[in-house]
Each structure stands twice: as C-alpha cells, then as structure tokens.
Amino acid sequence: MLKKVLVTGGAGFIGSHVVDRLVLEGYEVRVLDDLSTGKLDNIQRHLSSGKVELVKGDIRDASAVKQSLDGVNFVIHMAALISVPLSVENPDLTFDINLLGTLNLLRSSIKEKVDRFVFVSSCAVCGDPESLPVTEQTRTNPISPYAESKLIGERYCLGFSERQLLNSVVLRFFNVYGPRQGMNDYSGVITRFIERCKQKLPLTIYGDGSQTRDFVNVKDVAEAVLASVKGGKAVGEVFNIGSGKHTSINELAKTIIELAGVNSEISYEKSRSGDIKDSYADISKAKMLLGYEPKVSFRDGLQSLLEEKMVVT
C-alpha cells in the first residue's frame, strides 16, 4: 500500500523540493500550507497531475490539521514563520505559529496514530556557536524568538518520542540554497548577490566578508528529509543537515561574480548587529545513521542557480 505523507509548508522553498522528491519516490503527498510565503507555482505541476493534494490552511487551525492528517503515515513539519527580524518585531506571532502550531500538529498526530513525525529545526538554535564545527551536542544558545521557538519545538518532539507517544526525528538545517529561494535570512545573500550581478551593480557585504556559513543545496536537504522518514535509526534523534563545509561571504561574492561572467564590484558596509561570525556543521551523525551524503558541490549548485536566475525576463 502507498504510504501517505503530510508536508506542512510544502509550497515553500524547501518544502516544495521535498514534495518533488517524495512524489518521485512514489509517496502519496498532501500539503498543508496557508501560502503566506509559499507559492502555488512551486507545486502546481503536481497538483495538476493529481499527485499532490493541497489543503490551504493554517497549522494553528484544528479542523485544517484534522483534515490534513486523514490517512497519513508520516508528517514532515516545515511550516513556520522563518524571518528572524520579524520574530524580533513580533515574538507573539512567532510563538503562536511556531509553537502553538507545532503543538497542535503534534497532538493531532498522536491522536491519528501517525508512524513518524519529522520536525524541521534550524542551526539557529546554537546561536553564535562556542566551538566549530557545530555538532548536535554543541550548547544551544538561541538569540532570537525564532530560534527559541525552534528549540522548544525540538523539545516537544523529543519529549513525545521519549514517552513513546510519537516517533519523532529532528533535523537542524543549516543555510539552504537553491532554485525557488527567496530573500530569506539564511541564504538570501545568494539571491541578493545574483540580483545585483544581473543589474550589474556592486555587491554589498556587511562586515569584512570573512564571516563563514555552511551553504547546503536544497536537493541534498530533500534527500536527508527522505532518509529521515525511512531510516530505521532516526527516531528520537537530532541531526545536523548541512554540507559540512564553510564558505566565507567574500568567497561567495567572488565565485558568483566569476560564474556570472560580470565585473560587478564588491563594497563593504558596517556589520549588522546580531550577525553570527562563523558556523558550519559536523554532519557525521547524519552520515552514519541516515546514510546522508551531500552530493551537490557549492560551485555546481551556484552555477545551476545562476542559470535559472540570470535569465532575463
């Protein structure tokens, strides 16, 4: 019998790639999304072919959640308010969506006897990490309401798993990039740099550009999500999902300029308060227990993104 998966936030940037991968694998897929930042376009071809069903609704709405969970075996919970600045401006809304919404889904998933619940968290739970690379044991230190809401979400999931009420898996994504990506706080810098190259304008870097990030391609992330649904050793565990490599913002800017074949300049401005200096993931646990192996090199990933985004419309 076909297994049915509910993807919350499945019309979003990462969610829609997860949906693509699940459809390819032969799962029946349902998406619960309020389309607040997600786009119908991202999943339209699957909706048209009848391979994916959309429930347009809010994760805080009990009846939308109940309808979405009907007959579902696995839940992949990615719907969230993901903007750090917005979370600082409006912590109440952040906790409402990211915590109460998550709790609503968890409770209903227990009631509906879901086999596995995958919670998408973030490297932001570690804040400015004390040591590198960041492992799953690195001390957590959330520095925004967004990060706090993700950390508490993780604890809910692991708590339910420990009490054997719901088999849960936590994935901490690092800086995910790839097609369909908007201007988010994670890899929005890539979209911004590409836009500036397109307009032949200088690329602005905040700080001296030596700060590093772990940029991971969305296709690799989708593989990790799939593995977390299937993997026998995943339940009750937290996994870092990154590339395991670090790239400085200077390197990023230079690579984009080179691959785009433009001669945009780089300009520097005062660093922004709250910016993390360095971060990259130790992915050995995901490699060992999920068989996760990032395959898309950063250069290849950027090249295909440039091909998509540099097309003048």
Find the binder of ligand NAD among 184, 212, 228, 240 (CB under 6 A): 184
Q: Which is nearer to ligand NAD, 216 or 264 (CB)?
A: 216
Q: Does 101 bind ligand NAD (CB under 6 A)?
A: yes
Residue 179: asked if its preceding bond is cis (omega within 30°), the reply is no
Work out the end-to-end distance of the chain between its first and last CA atoms, rounded to an integer number of angstroms.
44
Q: Does 118 bind ligand NAD (CB under 6 A)?
A: no
Find the binder of ligand NAD among 73, 175, 211, 212 (CB under 6 A): 175
Binding pattern to ligand NAD, positions 12-31, x when CB under 6 A? xxxx----------------
For residue 17 the two structure tokens come to 């790639």
* Cα(237)–Cα(161) distance, integer angstroms: 9
Q: Which is nearer to ligand NAD, 124 or 264 (CB)?
A: 124
Q: Which range of residues in 43-51, 183-191, 204-212, 274-282 is near ligand NAD by CB under 6 A?
A: 183-191
Catalytic residue among 27, 146, 156, 292: 146
Q: Does 120 bind ligand NAD (CB under 6 A)?
A: yes
Q: Which is nearer to ligand NAD, 59 or 256 (CB)?
A: 59
Helix axes 13-25, 218-230, angle to 10 degrees: 50
Classify the phi-psi angles of 142: left when phi > 0, otherwise alpha if psi is within -120 to 50, otherwise beta: beta
The helix/strand/coil state of 99 is helix
* Cα(125)–Cα(138) distance, integer angstroms: 10
Find the binder of ligand NAD among 6, 21, 23, 38 (CB under 6 A): 38
Q: Does 34 bind ligand NAD (CB under 6 A)?
A: yes
Find the binder of ligand NAD among 6, 7, 9, 238 (CB under 6 A): 9
Output the smallest distance, CB 265 to ligand NAD, in A. Answer: 27
Output the smallest distance, CB 205 to ligand NAD, in A. Answer: 19
**How far does CA 112 lie from the centroid of its chain?**
26
Place of tokens 């004390």: 130
48-67 positions binding ligand NAD, by CB under 6 A: 58-60
Q: Which is nearer to ligand NAD, 15 or 231 (CB)?
A: 15
User: Quick one: CA dihedral 58, 63, 69, 71, positive or negative?
Assistant: negative
- Decide if 280 is catalytic: no
Which CA distances in Å does 39 have to 36, 169, 187? 8, 26, 18
Q: Does 122 bind ligand NAD (CB under 6 A)?
A: yes
Q: Which range of residues in 76-84, 107-115, 225-233, 271-279 is near ligand NAD by CB under 6 A?
A: 76-84
Residue whose C-beta lies closest to ligand NAD:
38
* Cα(122)–Cα(158) distance, integer angstroms: 15
CA dihedral 98, 102, 104, 109 (to 10 degrees): 160
Which CA distances in Å does 113 have to 71, 77, 106, 150? 9, 16, 10, 24
Q: Does 252 bind ligand NAD (CB under 6 A)?
A: no
Active-site residue list: 146
- Which residues of this protein are in contact with ligand NAD, per CB under 6 A? 8-9, 11-15, 32-38, 58-60, 78-82, 97, 101, 120, 122, 173, 175-176, 184, 186-187
